[in-house]
Every structure is written in structure tokens, then in C-alpha cells.
Structure 1
Amino acid sequence: MEQFKGTTIICLKKGSTVAIAGDGQVTLGNTVIKSKARKIRKLYNDKVIVGFAGATADAFTLFEKLEDKLNEYAGNLTRAAVELAKEWRTDKILRRLEAMLIAADKDSIYLISGTGDVLQPDEDVVAIGSGGNYALSAALALIKHSNLSAKEIVEESMKIASKICIYTNENITIETLGED
């Protein structure tokens, strides 16, 4: 699966809390164009959180499509994610979109791609983007060896990724669902 350069998004569920974090850096080639972009959104009456990696305009299109699917399927994230992935993969125009999404509600986390993937991680944590593997590694260690909250884990994981990945910065946006 392709990893997009220029961002890092991580999402995890711990206890009754789901937290998603994204950095703010947008690059064009090897040039930083923007450092405070917001790559995380709440959808469907703030019951679903979504983050993207990839082309910004493409991601906004996918946010809108996912929200339409959530409305169509009464907030059922699993069904909405599957239907979005089907449409994304088969639609002549949508299949050209270059982005990946992480979408989560209080029960589930999904990685959604344009190749038709709707993946639910085994460990209730997933990350995408150029710094995704760094953030994921940090989160797995923090989950196992700390008593940090979900929000604290995604924040620390993003800070670690930003120290390693040149396409990730420390302007971190975090959204949560539920309580710690």
C-alpha cells in the first residue's frame, strides 16, 4: 500500500476513547508550503473522526463522499466505509484521487484506500502517511509501557514521528471521541 509523503495521521482506541492526530505540514516536493493545515475532521454530528494523507483537494472530496455515505447509512461507519471504497475503486473520476483515509467511531477504526481496501487494525491503532510507521511504532510501545491516555499517546507518537520524518511537523491537531 502506497504511503503518501507530506503528512502523518495516527488513530487509536484505548478504553472508551478514540483519538486521532495529524500534523500540519503540507509540502510541494521538498518545499514546505503550509505548516498549520488541519487534516483531521469530525463528521456525522461529531460521531466519526477522519484524517487523511495525500492530495488535499482529493481528501476533501473523500470527506464529503464519506459524510454522504454516513448520512445514507444512518451513521453505520462500517457500511459507509465499504460503500465509499467500492465507489472510489470503481468510479472513473474518483479512482484517480490520491489520498488515504483513517475513519473511526466509538467502536471501530478503518483505513480506507482507493484500491478498495477497508482495513480494521488488529491492535486498535493505525497510522498512515510518510511518518505513519514511526508514529505507529511509538504508539505501540507507549500502549504497552505507559499509562498514558489515548489522546496523550497519539500526541507523543506524533512528536516522535516529527523528530524523524522530514515531512511531518509538530503542529499537531487532535480530535477525540469518548472519555478516558
Structure 2
Amino acid sequence: MEIWHGTTILTLRKKGRVVIAGDGQVSLGATVIKSNARKVRTLGRGDVIGGFAGATADAFTLFERLEAKLEQYPGQLTRACVELAKDWRTDRFLRRLEAMMLVADRERTLVLTGTGDVLEPEQDIMGIGSGGNYALAAARALIDTDLDAETIARKAMAIAAEICVYTNGNLVVETLESAR
């Protein structure tokens, strides 16, 4: 069985903005299947942004479930994510889904995994996916410069795309005003 690879998702906060950036590459083995997939989007009423790494259909299922939780718990991103993580771990169908998510609102950024993790990243920077660690390292190196959050995200993603064969330069970037 071929393994799907691809995706670099990066989030960071700086000077009143939170950004989530994602590349567009989906690979099957050594073949690029799609170069412009959209793995980052706005959620809820536009007050949450999210990105996913993993199986695309699984991620869309999780995005739909998270949107339902955001409707159930408006303005409570952490609560919505914890409730989703509980379902993800305990529901027979959801527990088979293979994806990770980064989500952010004005106040916090969270990483969600199928093992029930709902984590707030240190230093307000996190990368997931095949090139996530490359983008994370680049963003950490650039965070103390005069560059704004979106510019840092774009530069870090470009560096990841140069290193990771499962990452490309077709970016989708979503930004929100941040409380910090």
C-alpha cells in the first residue's frame, strides 16, 4: 500500500497577528498527485483559522466536527477542541482518522492529534506535517527579526519547501488579528 505524504503547516503569533500557512502538495509515494491542495481555511464565523496535515478526507471530517463544536461552544476554542479530542479518541469511526490540526483564534493556538492531545505550543510557534520541523526551525530563527508574522511564515515555508520533498511553494496563508 502506498503512503500519502505531504503537507507542511506552520503557525505563529507576532505583534498582534496570528498566521497559519500551509503548502499545497499531496504526494502518493514519489509522485506529486496535486500541487495546489487547500489545507488551511477559516472556521466558525471566520474567527478561527486552521490547517491540517494528514489524510485529506479525514481532515475535512475533523474540520466539520470542529465547526460543529465551535457552534456548540461559541468563543470557546479550547473547550471546542477538548470536546473534539474526546470524540476523536473515543468514537469508533473518528479514532481511525489520521490527521493533525493546528487551530488558532485571537487568543490561543492549539495543536490537536488523534491521541487526544490538545496542546498550546511554546513560543507561539508550531509546525506539523512532513516539513513541519523545517518550517518551525526557520520561523524560530526569524521570530526575533523586524519581519511581521506573515512574512516570517512565508519565508519559513519557503525554506521548508527547499528541504522537504513533500512540501511545495504553493501557499495558502490565513491571518487573524491577535489579542497578544
TM-score by length of 2: 0.95
The residue number in structure 1 matching 2:23 is 23
The residue number in structure 2 matching 1:108 is 108
CA–CA distance in structure 2, aligned partners of residues 37 and 147 of structure 1? 31
CA–CA distance in structure 2, aligned partners of residues 156 and 147 of structure 1? 13
Kept in 2: contact 1:44–1:75 (CA 8 A): no
Unaligned runs of 5+ in 1: none
Aligned residues: 176
Q: Deviations over 1:51-73 (max 9, x none)?
A: 00000000000000000000000
The residue number in structure 1 matching 2:172 is 173
CA–CA distance in structure 1, aligned partners of residues 64 and 15 of structure 2? 29
CA–CA distance in structure 2, aligned partners of residues 30 and 98 of structure 1? 20
Kept in 2: contact 1:11–1:21 (CA 8 A): yes
Cα deviation, residue 178, structure 1: 1.1
The residue number in structure 2 matching 1:123 is 123
The residue number in structure 2 matching 1:63 is 63
User: Which deviates further from its counterpart, 66-75 or 161-170?
Assistant: 66-75
CA–CA distance in structure 2, aligned partners of residues 87 and 162 of structure 1? 34
TM-score by length of 1: 0.95
The residue number in structure 2 matching 1:155 is 154
C-alpha RMSD of the superposition: 1.3
CA–CA distance in structure 2, aligned partners of residues 24 and 53 of structure 1? 11
Q: Deviations over 1:66-108 (max 9, x none)?
A: 0000000013100001000110011000000000000000110
State the 4+ residue runs in structure 1 displaced beyond 4 angstroms.
Answer: none
Unaligned runs of 5+ in 2: none
